[in-house]
Amino acid sequence: MPNSWLRIQDVTDLTGWYPQHVRRLAREGQLLHRPSKSVRYDGRVQREYALSSLPVEAQLKFLKQPLLSGPACTALTLRSDPNQSKLFASLPEVTEPERLNFSAKQNAQALKRLEAIAPLVEFSRRSQRSRPTFRTIGGVAVRSMNSLAGYLANQHHVSPRTLWNWYAQYRKLGYAGLVDRVRSDKGKSRFLRAHPAVRAFIENKYLGERLSIRLVYQALLRDLRNLEPECTRPPSYSAVRSYLQQLPKPLLILSREGERQFQERCEPYLLTDFETLVPNQIWVSDHGQHDVWVRNDLFSGVSTNAALRPWLTAMIDMRSRKIVGTAWSATPSSHTISSALRVGIESFGIPQIFMWITAKTTRRLVASTSPRNVVAYWSGWESSPSTACPGIPSRS
């Protein structure tokens, strides 16, 4: 059957191997090779190496390059087919909103798994007649989904069952199905959840008396029978330690380090870890005046042709950093906030939280905004508007 033969320079470009390593693999029989019809400048015969004997990553990389004229080939190449040149050419498309819902680590995990199952997804979309035939390095023909899954699992060092699970999750949930789901009880002790008296005891010892976690656990072992007479087996030290360390950070600082440390380190604070949010969770609004003078022919309340510096009221989504709504005016007011909010809702839907900045220059604005214009938008909606203190964009 036809195969694709490559020069040693092409093999090193695809694999990253040194020429000496390629020749050694050929001598050991791990790479198929044959004499080339062309000779070097010194008269020595060159070798050509079979594409099908290279790792699958190198074969996929080769297929992403523009194909020359002639019979098309698949990633593992066997049979000529006009449709085979498009197989495995690229990964399934992942949209920007899908990636924004996950952290960088989760996206890296999902893309790695998507790359592993991409040939399987493309193979399943083809009809029986248009499905190509592959041949592995060992010469085994791959003609079915099961044989292809077994080959891909071996190449990516996972079990076939794991690969099939990824494939099933991708078919069911799409890109989101390739991200590991966090257990609902991760980091939570079932013992402490079932025994509120024990939970209150260790919190009082740790936050009220400011004991170390080791001393808290020793006190719990000593007084457990008095707290829970029917409890014969105490929780593990790691469960108590994990529970106490997961208490809210501001609460720990206030209880164990004092009010001064709490004020300096926690109040006020800036919410800058945007990866903990999701798109459309928090919108923030603010005003800004343009550094340009224009002639008025639009805004009411200002003389026609009068010179003015227009104001911009804008809404930004905290997760995606996208401007979702805008409104220009001669003077900002609750009406410009309402207008920008209306533009954003019509285009992107209703956010969970809407925040607007307050300052000394906008005290009257807040007074007129809260009861009438902005809060009215949330009547009957599962959203909450809130103001931010001066210099504190988010304090939720």
Nearest CA to 107 among 95, 119, 117? Answer: 95
Same domain, 69 and 142: yes
Two tokens, residue 372? 């009438």
CATH number at residue 353: 3.30.420.10
For tokens 């694709």, what's the residue?
Answer: 4
How many angstroms from the chain centroid is the CA of residue 199?
35
Same domain, 289 and 196: no
Per-residue pLDDT averaged across 341-369, rounded?
Answer: 68
> Would you tell me how many other CB atoms lie within 10 Å of the CB of residue 269?
12
Same domain, 114 and 172: yes
The residue out of 266, 294, 326 marking a domain boundary is 266
**Per-residue confidence (pLDDT) for residue 138, from 0 to 100:** 59
**Per-residue confidence (pLDDT) for residue 16, from 0 to 100:** 85
| Residue range of the domain that includes 92 | 55-178
Q: If you average pLDDT over every residue of the chain, what do you get?
A: 78
Same domain, 128 and 146: yes
Same domain, 297 and 231: no
In the chain, the percentage of residues whose pLDDT exceeds 90 is 21
Task: Tell how strand 353-357 and strand 384-388 pair up.
Answer: parallel
Per-residue pLDDT averaged across 30-50, rounded?
Answer: 79
Contact 167, 117 (CB under 8 A): yes
The residue out of 210, 233, 266 marking a domain boundary is 266
Model confidence at 100, pLDDT cuts 50, 70, 90, reads confident
Torsion of CA 64, 69, 74, 75, to 10 degrees: -40
22 in any annotated domain = no
Is the confidence at residue 207, as pLDDT, over 90? yes
Per-residue pLDDT averaged across 34-62, rounded?
Answer: 79
**Per-residue confidence (pLDDT) for residue 115, from 0 to 100:** 87
pLDDT per position as a tens digit, 363-389: 333 333 343 444 444 444 455 555 554
**Per-residue confidence (pLDDT) for residue 127, from 0 to 100:** 63
212 in any annotated domain = yes
- How many structural domains are present in the chain? 3
Per-residue pLDDT averaged across 339-345, rounded?
Answer: 92
Q: Which of 29-38, 148-157, 266-275, 333-342 has the lowest mean pLDDT?
A: 266-275
Rounded CA gap, 73 and 151, in Å?
18
Same domain, 258 and 354: no
Rounded CA gap, 56 and 154, in Å?
10
41 in any annotated domain = no
pLDDT per position as a tens digit, 290-323: 999 999 998 888 899 999 999 999 999 988 889 9
Same domain, 254 and 196: yes
289 in any annotated domain = yes
- If phi over 0 gives left and psi between -120 and 50 gives alpha, with beta otherwise, what is residue 189? beta
Same domain, 384 and 341: yes
Is the confidence at residue 254, as pLDDT, over 60? yes
26 in any annotated domain = no
**Per-residue confidence (pLDDT) for residue 3, from 0 to 100:** 64
- Positions of E strands within the chain: 5-6, 33-39, 45-50, 134-135, 141-142, 282-289, 294-295, 307-308, 311-317, 323-329, 353-357, 384-388
136 in any annotated domain = yes
Same domain, 59 and 169: yes
Between 292 and 4, where is the model more confident? 292
197 in any annotated domain = yes
121 in any annotated domain = yes
pLDDT per position as a tens digit, 54-63: 887 788 777 6
